[in-house]
Chains A and B, each alone.
Chain A
Amino acid sequence: NAGVTQTPKFQVLKTGQSMTLQCAQDMNHEYMSWYRQDPGMGLRLIHYSVGAGITDQGEVPNGYNVSRSTTEDFPLRLLSAAPSQTSVYFCASSYSGQGSNSPLHFGNGTRLTVT
């Protein structure tokens, strides 16, 4: 059981480049999300999805796009990388629904540096 698989682990981009961070889960979780983690700022939600075909914005969505064509995959796209997007990115998933105390399961993170 792989859980949440996130690739790549490390990435260096130049300002203006685009890229996609991949996230896949094999637990049939309805809910998937992307966070960024910056020193002193904790975890901030970028985008999330409550099921295939449904996405919504989190706290810090600017500069990022997502799509959810399947239950398993939830890629995060950086449209035109900026130094302010240098961060560690986490994908996380869980079961959802009223009354569910399902915790988030996290991928191992991607350290992105934009120069």
Chain B
Amino acid sequence: AQTVTQSQPEMSVQEAETVTLSCTYDTSENNYYLFWYKQPPSRQMILVIRQEAYKQQNATENRFSVNFQKAAKSFSLKISDSQLGDTAMYFCAFLRNAGNNRKLIWGLGTSLGVNP
């Protein structure tokens, strides 16, 4: 069975600095997808970035980028130039490429605080 581990329950960073959130997963699949979601205090779940396992190039979305290491089963999220609005809970999630079944496997989250 697949599992997703986020080993940092809480992190903090100074505004304008860079922070990296870690995520590791366990799977025997070769083709799958990985996601990072953000949940600010408003409670809304927001997609930050996604990565297809068959793509070697790391995904980037503005200040957000990932370091995808398929052999190591690692999928870390880097936030550059941190802003106060980045304060949120961040969840890593895994999805098998298996037809209509869209059941994601979720990590327990990392609470990120951005300090002014």
Chain A contact residues, CB within 8 Å of chain B: 30-31, 33, 40-43, 45, 48, 50-51, 58, 88, 90, 92, 94, 96-99, 101-106, 108-109, 111
Contacts and interface: CB of A to CB of B under 8 A. Distances in A.
A50 B44 contact: no
Contacts of A51: 100
Contact of A99 (B45, B46, B97): B97
A111 to B, nearest CB: 8
Contacts of B95: 101
A94 B102 contact: yes
Interface of B: 33, 35, 43-47, 50, 52, 91, 95, 97-104, 106-109
B4 to A, nearest CB: 9
Which interface residue of A94, A98, A103, A109 has the most chain B CB atoms within 10 A?
Answer: A103
Contacts of A88: 43
B8 to A, nearest CB: 14
Contact of A58 (B44, B91, B103): B103
Contact of A42 (B97, B99, B108): B108
Which interface residue of B91, B97, B100, B107 has the most chain A CB atoms within 10 A?
Answer: B100
Given A41-B108, A42-B91, A43-B91, A106 B45 contact: yes
A92 B45 contact: yes
Contacts of B91: 42-43
Given A101-B50, A111-B43, 17 more contacts: A31-B100, A31-B102, A41-B108, A43-B106, A45-B103, A58-B103, A90-B45, A92-B45, A96-B101, A98-B97, A98-B98, A101-B95, A104-B45, A105-B47, A106-B46, A109-B43, A109-B45
